[in-house]
Amino acid sequence: MFFQITKAATPLTGCRRQLILRSLSSSTNNIQIEVDNKTGFATVSMNRPPVNLLNLELINSLTRSMKEMEQNKSRGIILTSTSNSVFSGGLDIKELYRPDVQRLREFWTAFQDMWLAWYGSAVPTAALINGHSPAGGCVLATCCEYRVMLPKFTIGLNEAKFGLVPPPVVRISFKNVLPLRIAELALCQGKLFTSNDALNIGLIDELAKTKEEGYEKCVKFLQTFRKVDPVARSLTKQQFRGKDLDDLRKGKQKDLNDFVEHVTQDDIQMRLGLYLEQLHNRKKK
């Protein structure tokens, strides 16, 4: 058993959720899952302070949570974070910098599996983007079927800005959400959109003033499937996304080899090192 059910106060006071399912899978407790016992919807909160960086363990927890909720026939999932300012800061670049190649391979395979699980999930999903959501954070949000974002944060695929080429698994869900030309330009510019701009281009579906309001908007979206046959709904989604899913399943090994080859190049390692240093020194200026 991967979760234990406990009664506890919810981090979203005033909301109806009652049960907290806490991940026991890792000693770091990097995911919290709460189920609203009225709607049956689960809220999955990333909980890896300070900025929910996607390291191997958090990525594996996200995959396992999705599998567990599918097995439990969850009726809908809201993905969010326990932070007040960051949804997810994206991949933990420390996983890519001066890596142990075996762990790097394991890391990218885990990322592929997480993407397959969330992009192809049978359960309907909504992202409650309650903070900044660059790169890997944007990938997670765009894997979901609906996005509600709080104001004054940023979202997008900024890899080009620090010298990385976003591989297909990073680009696909972004491309699925945006008009092709906007997606191409944004990728090439490494652009991060403000919440307002993200709404204007369709990268998110709604803005909400508070996390509580955002939660209610996600619930409202998930309830639109209430009268739809769940099997027909999930097969329709999976078939609609089928080519993308099949392409990755079939090309997994090549994608992994390309990733490792690219990331371990001296030039890329130098850029990653500089970027880490820049992030570390940002606040000292």
Residues 37, 40: Cα–Cα separation, whole Å: 5
Residues 126, 143: Cα–Cα separation, whole Å: 9
Angle between helix 242-263 and helix 101-119 axes, rounded to 10 deg: 160
Cβ(54)–Cβ(81) under 8 Å? Answer: no
| Residue 89 engages ligand 8Z2 in binding (rule: CB under 6 A) | yes
| Residue 86 engages ligand 8Z2 in binding (rule: CB under 6 A) | yes
Tokens 């397959």 locate to 116
Give min distance, CB of 17 to ligand 8Z2, in A: 26
| Residue 214 engages ligand 8Z2 in binding (rule: CB under 6 A) | no
Burial class (CB in 10 A: 0-12, 13-18, 19+), 99: middle
Cβ(37)–Cβ(60) under 8 Å? Answer: no
Kind and range of the H or E element at 211? helix 211-223
| Residue 167 engages ligand 8Z2 in binding (rule: CB under 6 A) | yes
Region from 74-82, 117-125, 157-165, 178-186 binding ligand 8Z2, contact rule CB under 6 A: 157-165
| Residue 134 engages ligand 8Z2 in binding (rule: CB under 6 A) | yes
| Residue 90 engages ligand 8Z2 in binding (rule: CB under 6 A) | yes
Region from 134-142, 171-179, 208-216, 217-225 binding ligand 8Z2, contact rule CB under 6 A: 134-142
| Residue 73 engages ligand 8Z2 in binding (rule: CB under 6 A) | no
Residues 108, 191: Cα–Cα separation, whole Å: 23
Task: Please say which residue, 7 or 283, places its beta carbon nearer to ligand 8Z2.
Answer: 283
Residues that bind ligand 8Z2 in the complex, under the rule CB under 6 A: 50-51, 53, 85-86, 89-94, 132, 134-136, 158-159, 164-167, 170, 258-259, 262-263, 279-280, 282-283
